Amino acid sequence: MLLPLSQIPELSPNRQAFPLIKEFLTKSERLQIKVHEQSGVKVIDCGVQVEGSWEAGILFAAVCLGGLAQVTLHWMDFNGLRWPSVEVVTDHPVRACMASQYAGWPIKIGKGLTMGSGPACAIVHKGSLFRMLGYEDDSETAIICLEGRELPSKGVIQHILEECHCEPNRLTILVAPTASLVGSVQVAARALETGLFKLRRLGYDLGKIVSGWGVCPIPPVARDTLSGLGRTNDAIFYGSTVFYNLRDDDERLKQVVKQVPSCSTRDYGLTYMERQATNKNFFNIDPDQFTPAEVWLCNLDSGRSFHAGALDPDILRRSFGLENG
């Protein structure tokens, strides 16, 4: 049975992420982002009306993880495909990935729907996930990350303020489109989260997981939102590797590891766009599509490690639109 996350102020995602917000504010020109003030709230544009940057993508992802993970960029070899990648390492995987980074807050104002993620989700603490985690962040400072093509409206801002129960000057909103440089980085940085998401769907006790490490290729910026969703989803589904240290029974881990990677799903072998040919609504796709390509489960009790899945660079090339000269 998963034990509730402890209420340790020093591990508050909002408090841990706040120093990263200060970096956005003091390095806006270097990061190629723009800071606005709307209704007394700081709104940081990371790609709507600006270019954004690699460095801004790292910071965005780190904020989304509640300041509880190390996020870095590397060149990696994905079975013969050398490509830029983002790496996430955390000793607080459930708090960072599930209580903060997980995009589980639907913000619906009028006909518009935006999925919120980031530290503020732990303040709002709605839904079955937070009932399971037994955790609520009591921070008076709130930070939310939005994935969208427009800056938030007054209605969206007011809704977030009401849900977070905070003053306008204590709320910061980060925004980046999926089809942007920052969007490509921050979504690829969710590979570790998708592994936890899949384990939870399998009924696995996330309380057994001690630490996590994930790496994922960063897709090239797509021409539109749907293509951006496709490339980022495929990057995780066919190109990511996740590694978890945990404490459990070896026989249990042998069975679980086989069910986690993308190769265990029904539509493996198709790109996101091919799977979506008859379904243009991203929010209606099979939740099993949110899962990493390759998984390692390393048992700290027995010293044994269990592996399943594989990378598929050929599908990545097709999805990313890569051409050899």
DSSP per position, 182-230: HHHHHHHTTHHHHHHHHHHHTT--GGGEEEEEEEEE-PPPPSSHHHHHH
b/e per residue 70-93 (b: at least 16 CB within 10 A)? ebebeebebeebebbbbbbbbebb
What confidence score (pLDDT) does residue 10 get?
Answer: 75
pLDDT tens digits, one per residue of 109-152: 877 788 899 999 999 987 778 888 888 899 999 999 999 999 99
Report the alpha-carbon distance of residue 39 to residue 161 in Å, rounded.
10
The pLDDT of residue 125: 86
Q: Output the pLDDT for position 136.
A: 86
**What are the structural domains of the chain?**
9-320 (3.30.1030.10)
pTM above 0.85, yes or no: yes
* Amino acid 304: pLDDT: 98
Predicted pLDDT at 324: 75
Which residues of the chain register pLDDT less than 50? 1-3
CA R_g for the chain: 19
Q: What pLDDT, on a 0 to 100 scale, did the predictor assign at position 1?
A: 44
Return the pLDDT at 280: 56
Q: Which of 325, 113, 315, 131 is nearest to 219 (CA)?
A: 315
Which residue carries 């996020």 as its tokens? Answer: 71
Pair of tokens at residue 150: 């427009």
The distance of Cα 228 from the centroid of its chain, to the nearest Å, equals: 15
pLDDT at 282: 53
Pairing, β 294-299 against β 241-246: parallel
Write down the pLDDT at residue 325.
Answer: 58
Please identify which residue in the block is written with the tokens 């956005």: 24
286 vs 213: CA distance, rounded Å: 25
Tell me the longest C-alpha to C-alpha distance in the chain: 55
